[in-house]
Amino acid sequence: MSAELIDLVHRLGQPRVLVVGDVMLDRYIWGDAERISQEAPVVLLRADHREERLGGASSVATMLRALGAKVALAGLVGNDHDAGRIRQMLTDLGIDHDAVLTDLHRPTTVKERYIGRAQQRHPQQMIRVDFEDRSAVREPLQSQLIQAIHYQIRKADIVLISDYDKGVCTPQVMAATIGAADAKGIRTVADPIRSHDYRKYHGCSAITPNRLEAGLATGRTLTTQTQIMEAARHLQEELDLEAAIITLDKDGMALKHRDGRMKFFPTRPRQVYDITGAGDMVMSVLGMALAAGADYDLAIPLANVAGGLEVEKIGVATVTREELIRDLLQAGAPSAAATAGKIVGLDVLLRELERRRRHGQKVAFTNGCFDLLHAGHVQYLQEARDQADLLVVGLNSDGSVRALKGPTRPVQPLAARALVLAALQTVDYVTVFDALTPIELIQAVRPDVLVKGADYRKDDVVGAQLVESYGGRVHLAAFHRGFSTTTLIEHLRAA
């Protein structure tokens, strides 16, 4: 799955995405939470800096830009200083904000968060203060907004609705937006509000409520998988959706599709620092993937990954394609819990190396018998791994070990030697060769760095000239005296 998702990231392209919804400014005040105030039993925050980011629907637009989309934003701001800040930030990011209209009757929505550090530990949000007017947009501004949305839809590949219940996403605006998108043949994906009534999202391609929102909208408590899927089915059928997607925080997402598909998509455990913006990130990546032609079965797992990366950051933050690829590579790489997955044949190895090289990763290669693994081997392999982004170990077969070391070797059979090597965190792949030298394997792998022990001279290292001929290099790792498989075997026999 990781390989498929990486390919999807490469295929995202630069879709034209229209974001409709509540435009906001997120302001962060950072400082040290030093003590309790003498005036009242409250924490005293000694502020040291302030930061402003785009929030709400404009946060979705920001996330999309960071992912490489061409973005237009439709919504409302007030006639105030904060509106000017938002427009300037949108301009700086290259986000089309011609459809962000000025409402003379409301202030710009601002969410002000106070972030405290205690004894230099990881910062935590202490309190949020909102400045807003949640009343519905009034005529004639509503008609002007609908007209601006219709114009932007003519240029869009997908429409994302970011509804924070601040007055923009009225039933009239939603009906006009969904209808215009449907007439053009493009999808509309909505992140809905917390409400008992979701009728205004009728006809969307998909909606992405969280567990609490979906439960409220369907009158259910969503604890079990059966309850969750029943809620998804209810939403999909009642609202005539292509797909109902319920986000389940650490439990991933659930999908009920019009074609009958009902699936759960788990996510990996994460170190959660701040869930702010996770829903926006999920919808952004989901929309990007769908606009690129992906099916929900791939778009949802990719959105899961992006949402997981978002919660590892403080506040509303962006995620890049490079971060997605890096995370997917780490997830797809074999782990200590699945060491057998690191032991691969040459065909599989070459495919994996090609995939990882496409993302700029360098390959180190070394080889040996590794009969009885000892501390010298561990230090040697660590140094080899430090030379590049991943390490491939060519392992002599039992037959080649006997040919090199004599009839009493190896002490451990091939399967055991390979498994012990693969269990090391420093080793990314183990592949077996049967020849007396690894030259054919080196020719196939074409490592960026060829590693051998410093007890060799470079001129004696098999494959050295080949590697240097195409611009690679040879590294002679430190020789650690006192460690030897032969000596270890002799000590064991003497004992």
Active-site residue list: 280
C-alpha 189/C-alpha 19 separation (Å) is 10
Question: Which residue is it, tokens 């430190």?
Answer: 478
C-alpha 170/C-alpha 460 separation (Å) is 76
| Phi-psi map region of 463: left, alpha, beta (phi>0 left; psi -120 to 50 alpha) | left
CA distances in angstroms from 412 to 253, 367, 380, 395, 485, listed in the order given: 46, 17, 20, 13, 12
Do 418 and 371 contact (CB within 8 A), yes or no? Answer: no
SS3 199: helix
* Residue 156: closest CA among 201, 99, 102: 99
- What residue type is assigned to position 421 of the chain? L
C-alpha 172/C-alpha 442 separation (Å) is 66
- Cis bond upstream, residue 140 (ω within 30): yes
Do 178 and 240 contact (CB within 8 A), yes or no? Answer: no
User: C-alpha dihedral over 442, 445, 446, 452, to 10 degrees?
Assistant: -50
- Cis bond upstream, residue 410 (ω within 30): yes
Do 15 and 288 contact (CB within 8 A), yes or no? Answer: yes
Do 164 and 21 contact (CB within 8 A), yes or no? Answer: yes
